[in-house]
Amino acid sequence: MKKYEIALFDLDGTISESGEGILDCVKMIFQEMNRPLPDEKSLAAFIGPPMYDSLKRCGFDHEDADEGVKIYKRNFMEHGIYKNRVYDGLTEVLAALKASGVRLGVATTKYQKFADKIITMLGLDGYFDIVGGSNSLAGHMPENGEKPRSNKIEVMNYVIGELKRSDTDRIVMLGDTKFDAEGAAAVGCDFIGCLYGYGTKEEMEQHYTIGNVTFVSSPSEITAILEPV
């Protein structure tokens, strides 16, 4: 296995087991807006992609999707965020990689403020050189004047740029969904699929179009895979 200089981690389903808190807050959107609750399969699809995009897929128009996102943010900050927990063994993986000289980053489409708070709340902020999240909704410009980033590719490009690395040959992305695989393929880096998360092996293989996916079934397998031979 080649020596990686940078390892990027998705948040939900890769670092943090977060499904309960996310889905509780998604249900509150439908309750507060008096809409029928989707079936369990449709609800599960909310974990991973941007909330605005998921609401649009459920038939929300632009205005209602914006309102739904506001409801989600309020409830998530008040309640859902506290239902995150780090996957068993992941902290030890981060410590081992950092000790070996690998630079670590988070690349998630979760809102930047939420991502920062979750990483700090889980006690992981000392391991990461940068936490990169979404700073805008589709069709909106960030209030702080930054270049908008709302999807995985935009977030990954932002994180890689902040780490001052233009050559992606020594970068690996770790994630659990097709969005992570698609992002890794788009920026041209290697990809490790985390089967302990919320996505499927088939979707990750399908969307990583530039090579083969390496899979892990638990966080404890990551360190051995990333150790150079």
Q: What percent of the chain has pLDDT over 90?
A: 70
Total Cβ atoms within 10 A of residue 184 = 32
Residue 74 shares a structural domain with residue 114: no
Q: Judge whether 1 lies within some domain.
A: no
Q: Is the pLDDT of residue 167 over 90?
A: no
Q: Judge whether 23 lies within some domain.
A: yes
Considering the entire predicted model, what is its pTM?
0.86
Residue 54 shares a structural domain with residue 137: no
The CATH code of the domain that includes 88 is 3.40.50.1000
At CA 11, angle to CA 181 and CA 118, rounded to 5? Answer: 165
Q: Judge whether 108 lies within some domain.
A: yes
Q: Is the pLDDT of residue 62 over 50?
A: yes
Give residue 229's pLDDT: 46
Residue 113 shares a structural domain with residue 26: no
Residue 76 shares a structural domain with residue 105: no
The CATH code of the domain that includes 69 is 1.10.150.240
Please report the sign of the dihedral spanned by the C-alpha atoms of residue 106, residue 112, residue 114, residue 118. Answer: positive
Residue 131 shares a structural domain with residue 196: yes
Task: Give the end of a domain, one of 32, 52, 82.
Answer: 82
Tokens of 67: 């309102």
pLDDT in tens, 76-126: 889 888 989 999 999 999 999 999 999 999 999 998 989 999 999 999 999
Q: Is the pLDDT of residue 202 over 90?
A: yes
Residue 100 shares a structural domain with residue 194: yes
Task: Give the end of a domain, one of 35, 53, 82.
Answer: 82
Residue-range definition of the domain harbouring residue 76: 19-82
